[in-house]
Amino acid sequence: MRWLKYGVGVMFTATFLSCRGAAVPRSETPSLEEIARRYTRRTAGGVHLPIVRQVPTETSKLRRRGLTSAIGLGDFVDLYNVLISIGGTTTPLLLDTGSSDLWVVSDDCTQGCSSSQSAYPHASLQYSGADGDLWYGDSNTITHASGKIGKDTVTLAGLTLQDQYFIAVNRTNVTLGETGSSGIFGLGFPVISDVAFRLWNQSRSSISTKRQVTEDNPIPPSNIKLGSRILPSFNFRRIEFPILSDYFSSPGKQRRQTLASGNVSSSAASIFHALSVFGPLLTRFVAAAQLTLPMFTVTLQRDAIQVGGNVGMLSIGEMPSGVSEHNLTWVPIRAYPYLLPAPTDSPNEMYPLTWEIPLDDVYLDGVKLPRSTLSSPFITLSALVDSGNSILRGPADVVRNIQSKLGINGRFRCSEPHTIAFSIGGQLFPVDPRDFIQQVFENDVAMCTSMLAPTDPPALGRVQFSWSLGDPFLKSVLAAFYYGNITHPSHDPPKMGFLSTVPQDAASQLVSAVAAVKTGDNFPYISEVAPSGTFKPAGTASNGVPLATATGRAAG
């Protein structure tokens, strides 16, 4: 019996990506233009359409207040891509709620440029004079990308911004040929944007203070590669979030001094103006009041074990059609003090770092798990909701406890359903048993292990979340990300809403999926270049969430 080794055959054309596992029958994928013609849908609030290479001629009419958009997603083994046009070049970028910056590989790239996707033409970049240097992961998985910061026109499903700043990457250790993307589309808050951080500092010509490398903000060694697992485990969370207040010697002292001197207004105005100019793509839309609601929602399709589940969809500006926001469980986003100088009209403002939500508790097979003892008891339990994380990550001692309950070395029979569930806002949100597992051995679906790994514990003075809820969790919910008021969070607080999409018979469906695999074969795994998902869904669940077809292909 051989250990399962990862292998993928990549075919970046109008057809799907071929991935290891049992073959799934497919028909020819329609062209991007044909997809746009068939599936564009306008609403009173804006437009819902799959990502297309060229938006129809009505594009200029869409640049108005009150836009919405819905976009079909492509994916590679639990990493989900969306098509974005940068300077006229359309390419898949990884959808990442765990970071904020936009970056794309340029044709000037000299390291890590194995993607078959179209590279951004470096000659088109309006260079800012500043360079970007991004680190992702944790102490176990570290990835890196660096390049020149500049601006160009960026279009996302008909939503266009001129002079959007991003990084044209020329060096990276991200295995782009494997992820099916040419970069990352960060959907986090502007305060953790490295691009905005560097450009804002560059604009402050009178201040030469630079961030110092400290024990809490290490420069990882350049020779670290992605850790290999049964399936590739990707983690695109920023290792250390850049915080604008790092430029002040003492955040608390700085705020007291600026309050006393009356300089808060000018400091806040300077920073918020910089964020409106240099900030991330979606938050600039929010700041300009160009969206019906300052939010986006995500559902992810299951392309492993038993293909189907939710339609892979990114909706911007409103809830997906047929889904009521009143059916979601809403929870606040953790706010951190002293990230930014507060406006004079709201001197006690605290700002969110990222999509970090409070957790009540964590359960395995209906039994509440003991809390981790690895972090300070003064840190309340919370989780980062991260689409750039391909698995679930938690405190090492809790993960060890879970693995011991599952079986020796964390292995158990694939036909034995297990459910990890997270209590959020008083409601349990289980991970579908089909999304919790992966097979251990090649050509054998008898033994499985969980999609779970340890990560670094939180510490006082740093980010506080101890769990990272990646794509296994996001495939089991509809998740709504509400930015609220970017400059005055207390006026309209950021929040997240969740709607469970795990069917009542998920456990029996897993048993059926295992029984359907022939002896000596593997679970089906499929990957598709964006746009994909099921643009005409197989139907809708009772909660209104569109369901994918059993093949993952667009229907009708």
Q: What pLDDT score does 140 carry?
A: 64
Q: What is the domain partition of the chain in residue ranges?
A: 34-206+268-519
Buried b (16+ CB within 10 A) or exposed e, 188-206: bbbbbbbbbbbbbbeeeee
User: End-to-end CA distance of the chain, in Å?
Assistant: 42
CA–CA separation, 504 vs 411, rounded Å? 25
| Class of the CATH domain delimited by 34-206+268-519 | mainly beta
Q: What pLDDT score does 329 carry?
A: 98
Which residues of 1-78 form beta strands (DSSP E)?
Answer: 8-9, 18-19, 41-43, 46-48, 69-72, 74-75
Q: Above 50 in pLDDT, residue 91?
A: yes
- Most confident segment among 48-52, 202-206, 265-269, 375-379: 375-379
Q: What pLDDT score does 33 carry?
A: 37
- CB atoms inside a 10 Å sphere around CB 214: 9
Q: Above 60 in pLDDT, residue 536?
A: yes
| Angle at the Cα of 407 from the Cα atoms of 359 and 455, rounded to 5 degrees | 40
Question: Which residue has better confidence, 84 or 383?
Answer: 383
Q: Above 70 in pLDDT, residue 88?
A: yes
CA–CA separation, 183 vs 172, rounded Å? 10
- Report DSSP state, residue 50: -
Q: What pLDDT score does 7 carry?
A: 26
Is 236 in contact with 98 (CB distance < 8 Å)?
yes
Q: Which of 19-23, 78-82, 267-271, 313-317 has the lowest mean pLDDT?
A: 19-23
| Angle at the Cα of 77 from the Cα atoms of 219 and 175, rounded to 5 degrees | 40
Go through the chain and tell me how many residues it has: 556
Pairing of β 74-75 and β 69-72: unpaired
CA–CA separation, 550 vs 534, rounded Å? 10
Q: Above 70 in pLDDT, residue 435?
A: yes
Question: Which residue has better confidence, 2 or 246?
Answer: 246
Q: Above 50 in pLDDT, residue 55?
A: no
The amino acid occupying position 491 is H
Cα 495 from chain centroid (whole Å): 16
Q: Which of 38-47, 162-171, 272-281, 288-297 has the lowest mean pLDDT?
A: 38-47
Which residues of 205-316 form beta strands (DSSP E)?
Answer: 295-302, 308-316
| CB-count burial class (<10 Å; 0-12, 13-18, 19+) for 80 | buried
Question: Which residue has better confidence, 141 or 220?
Answer: 141
Q: Considering only CA atoms, which of 172, 132, 170, 171 is closest in space to residue 149?
A: 132
Q: Above 60 in pLDDT, residue 70?
A: yes
Mean pLDDT in residue range 350-357: 94
Is 517 in contact with 443 (CB distance < 8 Å)?
no
The amino acid occupying position 264 is V
Max distance between CA atoms of the chain, in angstroms, equals 75
| pTM listed for this prediction | 0.83
Q: Left, alpha or beta for 388 (phi > 0: left; psi -120 to 50: alpha)? A: alpha
- CB atoms inside a 10 Å sphere around CB 520: 9
Residue-wise pLDDT tens digits, 299-324: 988 888 998 888 888 888 888 888 99
283 pLDDT band (50/70/90 cuts)? Answer: very high
Mean pLDDT in residue range 480-492: 95
Is 432 in contact with 502 (CB distance < 8 Å)?
yes
Q: Which of 170-174, 217-221, 353-357 has the lowest mean pLDDT?
A: 217-221
340 pLDDT band (50/70/90 cuts)? Answer: confident
CA–CA separation, 240 vs 231, rounded Å? 26
CA–CA separation, 317 vs 325, rounded Å? 13
CA-based Rg of the chain, rounded to a whole angstrom?
22
- Report DSSP state, residue 157: T
CA–CA separation, 157 vs 55, rounded Å? 7
Q: Above 70 in pLDDT, residue 47?
A: no
Q: What pLDDT score does 237 carry?
A: 52
Alpha helices in 419-537 (DSSP H): 471-474, 506-515
278 pLDDT band (50/70/90 cuts)? Answer: very high
Structure tokens given for 72: 């079909």
Percent of the chain with pLDDT over 70: 71
Q: Considering only CA atoms, which of 187, 489, 98, 496 is closest in space to residue 333?
A: 496
**Interhelix angle 264-278/194-203, nearest 10 degrees:** 130
Q: Which of 54-63, 356-365, 433-442 has the lowest mean pLDDT?
A: 54-63
What's the chain's average pLDDT?
Answer: 77
Structure tokens given for 354: 């990222």
Q: Above 50 in pLDDT, residue 218?
A: no
Structure tokens given for 283: 């938050």
The amino acid occupying position 302 is R
CA–CA separation, 339 vs 255, rounded Å? 10
